[in-house]
Amino acid sequence: MVGLGACTLTGVTLIFLLLPRSLESCGHIEISPPVVRLGDPVLASCTISPNCSKLDQQAKILWRLQDEPIQPGDRQHHLPDGTQESLITLPHLNYTQAFLFCLVPWEDSVQLLDQAELHAGYPPASPSNLSCLMHLTTNSLVCQWEPGPETHLPTSFILKSFRSRADCQYQGDTIPDCVAKKRQNNCSIPRKNLLLYQYMAIWVQAENMLGSSESPKLCLDPMDVVKLEPPMLQALDIGPDVVSHQPGCLWLSWKPWKPSEYMEQECELRYQPQLKGANWTLVFHLPSSKDQFELCGLHQAPVYTLQMRCIRSSLPGFWSPWSPGLQLRPTMKAPTIRLDTWCQKKQLDPGTVSVQLFWKPTPLQEDSGQIQGYLLSWNSPDHQGQDIHLCNTTQLSCIFLLPSEAQNVTLVAYNKAGTSSPTTVVFLENEGPAVTGLHAMAQDLNTIWVDWEAPSLLPQGYLIEWEMSSPSYNNSYKSWMIEPNGNITGILLKDNINPFQLYRITVAPLYPGIVGPPVNVYTFAGERAPPHAPALHLKHVGTTWAQLEWVPEAPRLGMIPLTHYTIFWADAGDHSFSVTLNISLHDFVLKHLEPASLYHVYLMATSRAGSTNSTGLTLRTLDPSDLNIFLGILCLVLLSTTCVVTWLCCKRRGKTSFWSDVPDPAHSSLSSWLPTIMTEETFQLPSFWDSSVPSITKITELEEDKKPTHWDSESSGNGSLPALVQAYVLQGDPREISNQSQPPSRTGDQVLYGQVLESPTSPGVMQYIRSDSTQPLLGGPTPSPKSYENIWFHSRPQETFVPQPPNQEDDCVFGPPFDFPLFQGLQVHGVEEQGGF
């Protein structure tokens, strides 16, 4: 089977075939030497047997090293036996391991004849730092060393030794060699090959294909390099009487490792409290065995870790490893502290007061004792002097209901050894003068400086409270402290201060038996630049100017005040300008701008902590030509509006010159003043729907060139009604009348409205009243009025109309003429003048 390979010849990738196994004997590579120092030259030869019929006798032999390009040999020639040989010299072998290939061309590819593996590296350096230890646990001598630099070649390490005298100049019996395992730098000589208390010489020999080296000889007595095993630590149980009288002590014992019991040893003990940052403390020159050991004067730590190690006393040797840690808890003593207290009261109802009491322990000495809890109690007279426990907690605060008869309570700290001195808590009232001039300022990200002016009455001390003022923060926890010196007017707060948070700080003076009123101040812990700047708005713009405005941020608690504003603007050519403004300004006019130009503007707000920029505003000044066009359009609109208004006025005046300015009943708005009569409504005139009043129906028809000659009356007994009522009142259901079909008109100039007056006292006398309007009523054929249509203005001796003065009877029945439906929407003044209607 033929395989495929790949190579590169002068930048061109060529595919070469791996010859079948039967043809592998055609070529052969020889390398001299096969292993060289890294960077040394390599000489190689490749021969082609004359018995290889598959290849051309004049085939050119090529070479390739690892992944490097193919190259021809230095020289190729024929040997007397017909063998072809190619020689090549590699001037620098920079590979620690590489393959060298011998190739021949084959059509468009090359064939592999043979390959050889090359190795390069360094001879071994001399091992160093040879040391040996005699382990009694394994009963053997264990030696270790440092091998030196990497050789890149397989290297073996052999531990050699022989017995000798004190100076190791004399070579005695040879001890069997110890060959180290691969990649291990240590080896052991068993006890059977050792003679205790007799010197021996030991060294290490390193070997590889490029050479060998030896370490310096080590001369020693195996018993002088003995390394002991650590002792065993144990805790002792001490009676309670001893513990109570000796607080802060530990009791322990230890025994040496059993195989080393016969040796004289010296030991060391170290202990460390399990506290952050605590160091080890050493106790020297301890015996190898101790049945009881007392370690006192310890600080009050929860747990101590103890370890021990030993060495042969007054003889050469090595320290044993540290023993496994033994953890012990020291005996306790009662707390020796002072409790500073502070409380807040809340009246739940007239007989119940809720009290939240805070306290803080202050050590009175360096070792003040461990605190396991706090007990708050009240001595009740009703319980024969027995204490009533209000709180038993490990926290530094407590909420309880204060009995109405209680004036004070007692607070103590306790542990297994006892209690601290009791602290009496008296519930004080807020009286006395308060501090003035309270001021707070951040010193850095985690501290706040608070100062104030002392009140008129010098207090005994001050109470300082601080808490985070944030909606997301639980305000139930407050940090506080008491400053016992009343002459102090400033303090640096360090505890529980988080960067860039708003804090509410309270200071109250402490007087004998009372507490002064508290005073608050707000400040940030660490100042930073404003979160954002006001947004810019364009108010007005012209050809060479632009007016900007902004709305300043509303002040907030603890807000760092701004010092000034700065406006920056730049044109399209990146020419920038700026101006600094007073913080009281809320608008500004940019002047000397170029017409029809774009400008980018932004506002920067600055405080003492830094500056913040607003979002950018882009504006464009007006073009003078655009302004002229706008003014021209505006003038044209105004001119058009003036013309339209003038035309309408002239049209109305022309119409009035031909026709009298009399309302047109057909288009009068009086009709809309009468509410529309719906189907379900009943039009009633309470004065006239009486059954005693007879129905009256009058129809008067006036035709052109004719005079009225006939009166058609179907009513009876109408003498009781006033003449005006008979002219326009129709008795009966008005909806019925409105629904009756009207007869068609016989002439186009028929008069469809008018007023017929008839007096009951003069039945034969009738008067016709026509409206004095000069307009045609229903669009007659001629706009001129007929002679009979203005009877009011023509004199007729035989029918003279004499208006009758109104009397009390007529007014009672008829009422004023605005009862007529067309006049219902009017408000008429001067009813006394209506008689001449």
134 in a structural domain: yes
Give 403-453 as a DSSP string: PTT--EEEEEEEETTEE---EEEE---B-SPPPEEEEEEEEETTEEEEEEE
Question: Do residues 167 and 250 both lie within one domain?
Answer: no
11 in a structural domain: no
pLDDT, averaged across the chain: 76
Indicate if the pLDDT at residue 787 is higher than 60.
Answer: no
198, 227, 256 - which closes a domain: 227
Question: Do residues 167 and 137 both lie within one domain?
Answer: yes
591 in a structural domain: yes
pLDDT in tens, 186-196: 999 998 998 88
Indicate if the pLDDT at residue 796 is higher than 50.
Answer: no
774 in a structural domain: no
525, 553, 581 - which closes a domain: 525
**pTM for this prediction:** 0.43
The residue segments making up the domain with residue 286 are 232-328
Largest CA distance in the chain: 188
Rounded distance, CA 573 to CA 559, Å?
39
Question: Do residues 545 and 597 both lie within one domain?
Answer: yes
Phi, psi of 516 (to 5 degrees): -75, 165
Counting the structural domains of the chain, the total is: 6
Question: Do residues 293 and 317 both lie within one domain?
Answer: yes
711 in a structural domain: no
H or E element that contains 39: none
Query: What was the pLDDT predicted at 240?
Result: 63
CATH number at residue 397: 2.60.40.10
732 in a structural domain: no
Query: What was the pLDDT predicted at 89?
Result: 92
For residues 375-387, average pLDDT: 77
Quick one: pLDDT band at residue 6, thresholds 50, 70, 90?
very low
Indicate if the pLDDT at residue 671 is higher than 70.
Answer: no
For 641-679, give the secondary structure using H, E and C. HHHHHHHHHHHHHHHHHHCCCCCCHHHCHHHHHCCCCCC
Question: Do residues 288 and 213 both lie within one domain?
Answer: no
Query: What was the pLDDT predicted at 180?
Result: 94
461 in a structural domain: yes
Query: What was the pLDDT predicted at 181?
Result: 92
Question: Do residues 507 and 598 both lie within one domain?
Answer: no
Indicate if the pLDDT at residue 391 is higher than 80.
Answer: yes
The two tokens of residue 146 are 């440092």
For residues 115-133, average pLDDT: 94
Q: Which of 240-254, 539-553, 746-760 has the lowest mean pLDDT?
A: 746-760
Question: Do residues 343 and 387 both lie within one domain?
Answer: yes
Question: Do residues 452 and 405 both lie within one domain?
Answer: no
CB-CB contact of 123 with 210 (8 Å): yes
Rounded distance, CA 466 to CA 496, Å?
9
Question: Do residues 458 and 444 both lie within one domain?
Answer: yes
Question: Do residues 246 and 311 both lie within one domain?
Answer: yes
Query: What was the pLDDT predicted at 15?
Result: 38
For residues 255-276, average pLDDT: 89
Question: Do residues 151 and 217 both lie within one domain?
Answer: yes
498, 525, 552 - which closes a domain: 525
For residues 668-678, average pLDDT: 51
132 in a structural domain: yes
Question: Do residues 397 and 443 both lie within one domain?
Answer: no
Quick one: pLDDT band at residue 205, thresholds 50, 70, 90?
very high
pLDDT in tens, 535-545: 899 999 888 89
For residues 318-330, average pLDDT: 91
